[in-house]
Amino acid sequence: MGCGETAQESASRKARCVRRKTPNPALKRSVQQRRFACGCPLSSALGLICVYLFSSLFLLLSCNSYAALPTADEVSRKLENLAKGGSHCRTEERIIFTCSIDRKTVSVCSSNNLKDNAGYVQYRYGILGKVELTLPKEGNTTSSTIGYKHDMGASYYAYYLRFTNENYKYYVYAGSRRGDDDPKTGASTRIETSGMVVMKGDKVIQAHKCSGTLDYNVGEHFWGANVPTLTDPKEISPLDFAFPPNAP
C-alpha cells in the first residue's frame, strides 16, 4: 500500500496489475493461431510464402475448373499436325516419315484409322503440292509392296521402310548412334542420319541424305499387320544405309 493510499485503493490497483499481466485466454489462442499458421510465424516472409503454397495446393486439388495438362500423345499429335504443312500427308492422314531432299520431299503417310488389314500406308515423292510418285498406287498395303526392318543395340538403332514397284525398291531410313564425347565438356554426343535410297535389282541407283527429318508412329505398335516386318536375313540391313561400313 502506497503512502496516503487507502486499503480499498490499494486492492483496486493490484487487481489492475493482475489483469495487465494475465491476457484473455481466447485472445491468446487467437494470436497464437495467427502467428503460427502452417507452422510459420505470419509476421515473417517465410510464413506468408507458406500460406501461399498451401492455398495454391488447396485450389489445385479442389477446383474442377483447372484444365488437364496435355498427355505426351496429345503433344505428339499437335506437333505432327504442324508438320503436315511440310509433307505430302493430307490433313486427315497420319505422318510416319517425312524429310526434304534438295527441292523435293519424300513422305510416308497413312490413313488415320490404321488397323490390321485395313487402311493404307503410302510412299510419296515430289515437290510439295505436286506428287510425282505414289507407292502403292492403289492405296492399300500388301506384303509384296511394303516392308519394315530395324536393328538396334546398346548405343545405336536404325530402321527403314521399303516400297517395291516391279524391279525397283524405294527405301526411307533413319538411324542414330553414339558419337565421340565432347572434348570440352566430356558429354556424350549422338550422330543422327536419315535419307532415301532407290535400288534397281541389287544396284543402288539413287542415294540421298535428308534434311529436316521428322518421323512419327514408326513401329508395329502403330501399323499392326499392315506393314510386314522383314525377317529374311538376306534383306539388306538398315545399318548399311544409316551407317555404311566405310563411312567415317
* In 26-179, beta strands by DSSP E: 94-101, 104-110, 121-127, 130-135, 146-152, 156-165, 168-178
**Contact yes or no for 181/188 (Cβ under 8 A):** yes
The structure's pTM equals 0.66
Q: What is the pLDDT of residue 80?
A: 55
Q: Count Cβ atoms below 10 Å from residue 124 Cβ, excluding itself.
A: 19
Would you place residue 169 in the very low, low, confident or very high pLDDT band (cuts 50, 70, 90)? very high
Q: What is the pLDDT, as a whole number, of residue 194?
A: 95
Percent of the chain predicted with pLDDT > 90: 41
Range 42-58 average pLDDT: 48
| pLDDT exceeds cutoff 70 at 7 | no
Note the maximum CA span of the chain. Answer: 129
Residue 144 binned pLDDT confidence (cut-offs 50, 70, 90): confident
Query: Is the pLDDT reported for residue 55 higher than 90?
Result: no
pLDDT at 114 over 70: yes
* pLDDT at 36 > cutoff 90: no
Say which range, 5-19, 44-58, 95-109, has the weakest mean pLDDT.
44-58
* Cα–Cα nearest to 97, from 217, 215, 238: 215
Preceding peptide of 245 cis, ω within 30°: no
CA atoms of 73 and 167, how far apart (whole Å): 38
Residue for grid cell 538396334: 152
Query: Sheet harboring 94-101: ordered strands across?
Result: 130-135, 121-127, 104-110, 94-101, 211-215
CB 156 within 8 A of CB 241: no
Predicted pLDDT of residue 99? 92
Q: How far apart are CA 225 and CA 32, in angstroms?
A: 70
Across the chain, what does the average pLDDT equal?
A: 76
pLDDT for 27: 44
Spatial separation of the C-alpha atoms in residues 193 and 202, rounded to whole Å: 23
Q: Are 222 and 156 contacting, i.e. CB atoms less than 8 angstroms apart? A: no
Q: Is the pLDDT of residue 39 over 90?
A: no
Burial class, 158, CB count within 10 angstroms (exposed 0-12 / middle 13-18 / buried 19+)? buried
- Which range, of 137-141, 170-174, 178-182, 226-230, averages the lowest pLDDT? 137-141
Q: Cell numbers at residue 122, please?
A: 503410302
For 69-109, how does the pLDDT look when each residue is reduced to its tens digit (9 = 90+)? 556 555 455 455 555 568 999 988 999 999 999 899 999 99
pLDDT for position 43: 46
Average pLDDT over residues 200-223: 90
Mean pLDDT of 230-247: 90
228-232 long-range contacts, CB within 8 A, separation 24+? 228/143, 228/146, 228/147, 228/148, 229/147, 229/148, 229/149, 230/147, 230/148, 230/149, 230/162
Nearest partner of 122 among 214, 131, 231, judged by Cα: 131
**Residue 109: exposed, middle, or buried by beta-carbon count in 10 A (0-12, 13-18, 19+)?**
buried
